[in-house]
């Protein structure tokens, strides 16, 4: 009878429940627990399995450049990181309020890592996340336009709760790219949160966007309701300004900051 029940549970895609039931059948001491207690254990295991599977799916869809966690953020190295700001962002309220995060700083200081860590935290909190380098995103929108799929692509971006745009404004935008970027930012304004990571100082964004009207419109929707993190200090990348962090100092669960 137990084997038949296990087979039916697998047919219902309740694999964790089925495996746990099989394990219980092999534990004589389990009979000391009440039916309700045993059932609760089985339900808890199935629920945890479903949550973990959903998180793995969100992280896979996000396509983040690095597997980073805020718990591994290096706050010992002076980089102008405010602990209070990080604690606030870790709470996730900025996502519910459709606010943005701007991470600005020189090469190799950990901008991409921090943006991915925030994206990772958002995914763990149940929000759909998407990571894109801005140049790659604009190229994909151009291709989608050629195939008549741009409206669908823009809808997908608008519905993504947290969009991570890395390497923002590294090259001056063309007229077509300006229009596409404004569409993305405007569609998301008041509906989603955007994380921007860039080496380009904020006062140069107008020049890189290339048109004052478009620049004003984009920055108005992106900057005025954003947390701003301006990283300073030396590069954390090997072979640049300072040696790599000792691997023994990194947490095993995910790569350390930098």
- List, for residues 126-185, the tens digit of each pLDDT value: 999 999 999 999 999 999 999 999 999 999 999 999 999 999 989 999 999 999 999 999
pLDDT in tens, 84-124: 999 999 999 999 999 999 999 998 889 999 999 999 999 99
Residue 124 sits at the vertex; the CA angle it makes with 119 and 129, to the nearest 5 degrees, is 40
Q: What pLDDT shows up at residue 142?
A: 96
**Under 8 Å between Cβ of 113 and 258:** yes
Nearest to 155 by CA among 115, 136, 183: 183
Q: How confident is the model at residue 49 (pLDDT cuts 50, 70, 90)?
A: confident
Find tokens 């084997």 and name the residue.
Answer: 3
**Does position 234 have pLDDT exceeding 90, yes or no?**
no
Q: What pLDDT shows up at residue 240?
A: 45
- Calculate mean pLDDT across residues 180-200: 96
Q: What pLDDT shows up at residue 147?
A: 93
Q: How confident is the model at residue 58 (pLDDT cuts 50, 70, 90)?
A: confident
Residue 187 burial by CB count (10 A; 0-12/13-18/19+): exposed, middle or buried?
middle
Nearest to 63 by CA among 2, 139, 132, 128: 132
CATH topology of domain 63-249: Rossmann fold (3.40.50)
**Does position 247 have pLDDT exceeding 50, yes or no?**
no
What proportion of the chain, given as a percentage, has pLDDT over 90?
58
Q: What pLDDT shows up at residue 238?
A: 56
- Calculate mean pLDDT across residues 59-85: 88
Q: What residue spans define the domains of the chain? A: 2-59, 63-249
Alpha-carbon gap, residue 188 to 182, rounded angstroms: 10
Give the three-class secondary structure for 84: helix
Bridge partners, 162 (sequence order):
129, 193
Q: Give this prediction's pTM.
A: 0.79
Alpha-carbon gap, residue 256 to 258, rounded angstroms: 6
**Under 8 Å between Cβ of 72 and 121:** no
Q: How far is CA 183 from the centre of its chain?
A: 21
Alpha-carbon gap, residue 209 to 175, rounded angstroms: 9
- Distances 197 to 53, 63, 69, 73, 191 between C-alpha atoms, Å: 29, 16, 16, 16, 20
Q: What pLDDT shows up at residue 257?
A: 64
Q: How many CB atoms lie within 10 A of CB 257?
A: 24
**Residue 181 is encoded by which pair of tokens?**
């970027």
């Amino acid at each position: 009878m137990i084997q038949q029940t296990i087979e039916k549970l697998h047919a219902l895609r309740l694999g964790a429940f089925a495996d746990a039931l099989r394990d219980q059948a092999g534990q004589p001491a389990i009979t000391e627990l009440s039916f309700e207690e045993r059932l609760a254990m089985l339900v808890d295991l199935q629920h945890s399995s479903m949550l973990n599977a959903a998180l793995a799916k969100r992280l896979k869809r996000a396509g983040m450049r690095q597997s980073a966690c805020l718990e591994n953020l290096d706050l010992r190295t002076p980089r102008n990181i405010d602990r209070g700001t990080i604690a606030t962002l870790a709470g996730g309220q900025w996502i519910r309020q459709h606010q943005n995060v701007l991470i600005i700083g020189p090469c190799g200081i950990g901008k991409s890592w921090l943006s991915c860590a925030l994206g990772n935290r958002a995914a763990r909190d149940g929000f759909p996340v998407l990571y894109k380098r801005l140049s790659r995103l604009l190229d994909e929108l151009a291709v989608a336009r050629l195939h008549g799929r741009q409206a669908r692509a823009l809808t997908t971006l608008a519905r993504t709760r947290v969009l991570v745009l890395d390497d923002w404004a590294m090259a001056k935008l063309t007229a077509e790219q300006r229009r596409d970027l404004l569409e993305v930012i405007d569609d998301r304004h008041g509906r989603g949160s955007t994380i921007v990571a860039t080496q380009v100082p904020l006062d140069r964004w107008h020049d890189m966007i290339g048109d004052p009207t478009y620049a004003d419109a984009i920055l108005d929707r992106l900057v005025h309701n954003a947390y701003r993190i301006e990283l300073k200090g030396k590069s954390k990348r090997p072979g640049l300004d300072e040696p790599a962090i000792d691997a023994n100092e990194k947490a095993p669960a995910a790569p350390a900051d930098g």
